[in-house]
Amino acid sequence: MIRVLVNGCFGRMGTEVVKAVNAQDDMKLVGGVDVRCEGRTALLDDAGAKIAPVFDDLAAAIEKLAPEVMVDFTHPSAVEGNLRIGLARGIDCVVGTTGLSTEKLEELAALAPEGTTLFVAPNFTTGAVLMMQFAKIAARYFPDCDIIELHHDGKADAPSGTAVRTAEMVAAARDAASPAPGKETELAGYEGARGALVDGVYVHSVRNAGQVAHQEVIFGSAGQTLTIRHDSIDRSSYMPGVLLAIRKVGARAGLIIGLENFMEGLNDE
């Protein structure tokens, strides 16, 4: 039985993680943490029954509940501090909060006792992982690439972690940067029209109500285009990936980035 603590348990993603973990036979939801407790002391199931205690202090929760895995879906401004607390105590961490650089993640992973794992996924949906893998393949054959990512109006970071990770994978797979016109063509007063430049790939972020999480990777070469698109229409789409990571993280150690490391047939070791 894997003892799981959910940090950010009252957020959009945290609420879904609580439900998913509580429904598993091989996991025990030992508790939740959220700075927005607002007087709440317990997590409740759909029938209103108490299923686990809630804390507003992460260190106190770990001390009291002794989790084996901490799942973090909090905020970019809070995740570094959360990881410093969890990793230093030897807790395996499954992180869906984006915004930290690879260098910072490496620094944090080095704080943990030997055998502890810091797992970070820019995206937990299997479809998004496959989209990134397909984009990496396509990048070898198409010189031009733009990424358009669309998210709900409450998302705290732009560009998304998925878009940044996709751009990095495209850049690593292709032989040279795109020859397409870039930021030098932006008209005065309209800077940003070409988007953010991530490792030579242009990324465009859309934020509005009605979206959940969507991304298009648009490739171009002489006489043809290829568009690879993934849509998450409900946050439940993330849960199989989160549960997979919780089950796999205990058998690994160190820093691991990307759900493909746990998906059969992708990045096998």
Domain-located, residue 269: no
For residues 8 and 45, state if they share a domain: yes
For residues 86 and 146, state if they share a domain: no
CATH code of 18's domain: 3.40.50.720
- pLDDT at position 39: 82
Q: What is the mean pLDDT of residues 226-242?
A: 94
For residues 19 and 100, state if they share a domain: yes
Catalytic residue among 28, 75, 152, 155: 155
- C-alpha closest to that of 137 among 64, 228, 54: 228
The pLDDT mean for the chain works out to 93
In Å, what is the CA distance from 207 to each residue of 129, 131, 235, 238? 21, 21, 17, 19
Contacts with 201 (C-beta within 8 Å, 6 or more apart), sequence order: 145, 146, 147, 166, 167, 170, 171, 178
Contacts with 269 (C-beta within 8 Å, 6 or more apart), sequence order: none
- pLDDT at position 267: 59
For residues 9 and 100, state if they share a domain: yes
For residues 50 and 148, state if they share a domain: no
Asked whether residue 268 carries a pLDDT value surpassing 60, the answer given is: no
Q: What is the mean pLDDT of residues 23-45?
A: 92
Highest mean pLDDT among 25-39, 153-167, 174-188, 216-230: 216-230
Q: Compute the distance between CA of residue 226 and CA of residue 213 in angstroms, rounded to an integer.
A: 20
For residues 18 and 54, state if they share a domain: yes
Catalytic residue among 136, 151, 204, 230: 151
Domain-located, residue 190: yes
Asked whether residue 145 carries a pLDDT value surpassing 60, the answer given is: yes
- pLDDT at position 269: 43
Active site residue 155: yes
Of all residues in the chain, the percent with pLDDT exceeding 70 is 98
Place of tokens 């969507």: 214
- Cβ distance 86 to 111 under 8 Å? no
For residues 76 and 146, state if they share a domain: no
- Structural domain range at position 109: 2-120+235-261
Asked whether residue 9 carries a pLDDT value surpassing 80, the answer given is: yes
Active site residue 204: no
For residues 98 and 143, state if they share a domain: no
Place of tokens 């901490």: 70
Q: What three-state secondary structure class fits 206?
A: strand
pLDDT band for 4, please (50, 70, 90 cuts).
very high
Domain-located, residue 191: yes
Q: What is the mean pLDDT of residues 159-176?
A: 93
- Cβ distance 247 to 110 under 8 Å? no
Contacts 24+ apart (CB under 8 A), 137-142: 137/173, 138/217, 138/219, 138/226, 138/228, 139/169, 139/170, 139/171, 139/173, 139/174, 139/219, 140/173, 140/174, 140/175, 141/221, 142/219, 142/220, 142/221, 142/226
Domain-located, residue 43: yes
**Side-chain half-sphere of 248: how many Cα atoms within 13 Å?**
19
| β-sheet with 196-198: strand ranges across | 196-198, 201-207, 144-151, 213-221, 224-232
Asked whether residue 130 carries a pLDDT value surpassing 70, the answer given is: yes
Alpha helices for 23-158 (secondary structure H)? 58-65, 76-88, 102-109, 126-138
Of all residues in the chain, the percent with pLDDT exceeding 90 is 81
pLDDT band for 177, please (50, 70, 90 cuts).
confident
As for how many domains the chain has, the answer is 2
For residue range 187-203, list pLDDT tens digits in order: 999 999 999 999 999 99
pLDDT band for 48, please (50, 70, 90 cuts).
confident
